[in-house]
Structure formats: structure tokens, C-alpha cells
């Protein structure tokens, strides 16, 4: 089978055997934000066409490919949701090179009735469940929009979203803080200082302006601006959480940053394999049985 996680800024694909082992990987900087609706089929062909030509299939796609601005909009499944609930919401899409199934996202309302949504992270959570405590766990999935999920007894029971990654990019690339920064590399000490500033629940807006103030007074060097800003944003995100032990699934650099920030905030972090989305999509494929493999 072929598993595809189509994110906001990047698309990743895995070629997997029947047991769920990854045989090959491919990725493109062709996230859903940059692909027009009539271009998804062509981008997918360029990404996995050679695998399909060798008879691989079916294809299971998760993420923003199923959003309103994706290839086709797939309705959200209400949370709490199990593997069976998510599988039941999948939509098959005609494609010339193989059978394509698009995974639905999840919808959730918090205790105040405020809605939240996710796409792609449901597959990551399904893959992570193999190693998460059955009685319950907090799962952190950093990215452009970081997701924090509560998983219990094989179900995703709640989640919350933080626009941390997008805010970091916007502030550096289009805001006044970016004029004081020398690149986007993360200085370790500056990052730790930023996280530490948010431990007491400080005002994020006020602390963000301190990036400019510290740079202009010489307390923050240009090469440390990005690290300090990242620390403030990630520190604020983590300050909103209650869990003391958090499981993380992300690319190595991002996972390392979050693990360090969680430690500074007084919690414990455990980093999982970054390919949990592929594992989750494999579980969904198996749940389809003859519907997918006939």
C-alpha cells in the first residue's frame, strides 16, 4: 500500500508492505496551501506514480488534501472517535493510477463549546496508539498548527490546536521582529530563555514585544532572535496544558525543541517515531479489508 500525509506546507509518502514496514519514502514541498484543486492529481502522480506503475496500492491519503481547499472536501468525524469511526468516514476518489481513499479529519468542541478541527493528526494518533498507554495519554503533534490530543482506550477523546508554527513564520517574515533577526536558526540558550519566560503564564503579546526591546538594547543578538521567539511561542503553548507526561511525534528537530521545552516547563517528554502517520494509515487500510484490496 501507499500512505500519504498531505500537510499544509509539505506532502510525505511511504511505500509499505503488507505488515506495515516502510520500504521507501518520498516527500515534496507541495503542501495544500500551494496546490490548486485541479493540480492534486498531477502532484500525486509525480510523487508516487512509479510505485503505482509497479502495482502498489491502495493509496490512503490524510491531511489537508481532504479539506475545503484540498482535492475533495471530506466531512469531519465528531470526536471522540475510534479507528472504526474514522474508517467509516473515508471517501474513495477516482484516480487513473490506483484506488485512492481520503481520510476524514476530526471535529471537537471544548467545555466552552468552542469548535476545533484537525486533519492528518487523526492518522498520527492511530499510529501512535500502538505504544501509548491504553488507560490514557497526552500526545503532542507539533507543526504549522500544533495539535495536543488526549487518547484513551483506543479512541481520540479530545484535542486542542495552537497556531505556533504559523505565528513564528508570520512574525519573522512579515512582522517588525523579523527586521532584527539574522536568519531562522534556533540558538539553544535563547530558546531556553524564551521558554523560561512563559513558565509563570506571562502575557504572550507583552513578551513578544520584549523580543524587539531586548534586541534594540543589545541584550539579544540578531542570531538569537529566532530562538528566543520560538521559545516564547512554544513555551506559551505548553503553559496551557495540564499533562505532566507528554508523548511527541514530529520531525527530529521539532521534536527535540518540544522535548526540551517540556522539560524546562517541568514536565516529562517521550519522543515517538516520526512515521506514526504511515502506521496509522496502514491500520486504516487493513480495517477496510476487501473494500480496499479487492
CATH number of the domain where residue 20 is located:
3.30.420.300
pLDDT at 8 over 90: no
Measuring CA to CA, which residue among 246, 282, 280 is closest to residue 122? 280
CA–CA dist 96, 39 (Å, integer) = 14
Measuring CA to CA, which residue among 31, 42, 97 is closest to residue 65? 31
Measuring CA to CA, which residue among 204, 215, 234, 143 is closest to residue 176? 215
On whether both 128 and 170 belong to a single domain, the answer is: no
pLDDT at 281 over 80: yes
On whether both 202 and 108 belong to a single domain, the answer is: no
Average pLDDT value over all residues in the chain: 94
- What does pTM read for this prediction? 0.92
- Give tens-digit pLDDT for 162-188: 999 999 999 999 999 999 999 999 999
On whether both 179 and 118 belong to a single domain, the answer is: no
Beta bridge partners of 13: 4, 26
On whether both 215 and 94 belong to a single domain, the answer is: no
Tell me the residue range of the domain where 224 lies: 164-240
Domain boundary residue, one of 240, 264, 285: 240
Per-residue confidence band for 243, with pLDDT thresholds at 50, 70 and 90:
confident
What total of structural domains would you count in the chain? 2
pLDDT at 200 over 90: no
Tell me the percentage of the chain whose pLDDT exceeds 70.
98
Query: What is the pLDDT at residue 227?
Result: 97
Amino acid at each position: 500500500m501507499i500512505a500519504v500525509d498531505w500537510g499544509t506546507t509539505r506532502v510525505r509518502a511511504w511505500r509499505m508492505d503488507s505488515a506495515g514496514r516502510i520500504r521507501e519514502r518520498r516527500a515534496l514541498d507541495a503542501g495544500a496551501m500551494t496546490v490548486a484543486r485541479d493540480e492534486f492529481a498531477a502532484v500525486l502522480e509525480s510523487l508516487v506514480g512509479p510505485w503505482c506503475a509497479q502495482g502498489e496500492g491502495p493509496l490512503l491519503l490524510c491531511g489537508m488534501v481532504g479539506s475545503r481547499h484540498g482535492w475533495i472536501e471530506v466531512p469531519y468525524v465528531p470526536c471522540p472517535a475510534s479507528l472504526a469511526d474514522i474508517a467509516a468516514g473515508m471517501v474513495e476518489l477516482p484516480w487513473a493510477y490506483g484506488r485512492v481513499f481520503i481520510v476524514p479529519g476530526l471535529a471537537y468542541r471544548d467545555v466552552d463549546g468552542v469548535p476545533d478541527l484537525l486533519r492528518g493528526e487523526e492518522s498520527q494518533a492511530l499510529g501512535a496508539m500502538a505504544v501509548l498507554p491504553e488507560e490514557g495519554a497526552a500526545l503532542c503533534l507539533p507543526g504549522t498548527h500544533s495539535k495536543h490530543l488526549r487518547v484513551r482506550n483506543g479512541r481520540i477523546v479530545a484535542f486542542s490546536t495552537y497556531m505556533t508554527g504559523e505565528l513564528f513564520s508570520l512574525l519573522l517574515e512579515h512582522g517588525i521582529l523579523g527586521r532584527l533577526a539574522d536568519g531562522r536558526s534556533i540558538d539553544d540558550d535563547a530558546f531556553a530563555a524564551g521558554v523560561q519566560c512563559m513558565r509563570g503564564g506571562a502575557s504572550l503579546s507583552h513578551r513578544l514585544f520584549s523580543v524587539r526591546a531586548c534586541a534594540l538594547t543589545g541584550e539579544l543578538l540578531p542570531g538569537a532572535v529566532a530562538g528566543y521567539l520560538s521559545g516564547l511561542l512554544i513555551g506559551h503553548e505548553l503553559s496551557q496544558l495540564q499533562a505532566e507526561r507528554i508523548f511527541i511525534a514530529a520531525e527530529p528537530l521539532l521534536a527535540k525543541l518540544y522535548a526540551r521545552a517540556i522539560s524546562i516547563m517541568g514536565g516529562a517528554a517521550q519522543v515517538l517515531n516520526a512515521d506514526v502517520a504511515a502506521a496509522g494509515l496502514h491500520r486504516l487500510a487493513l480495517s477496510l479489508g476487501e473494500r480496499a484490496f479487492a
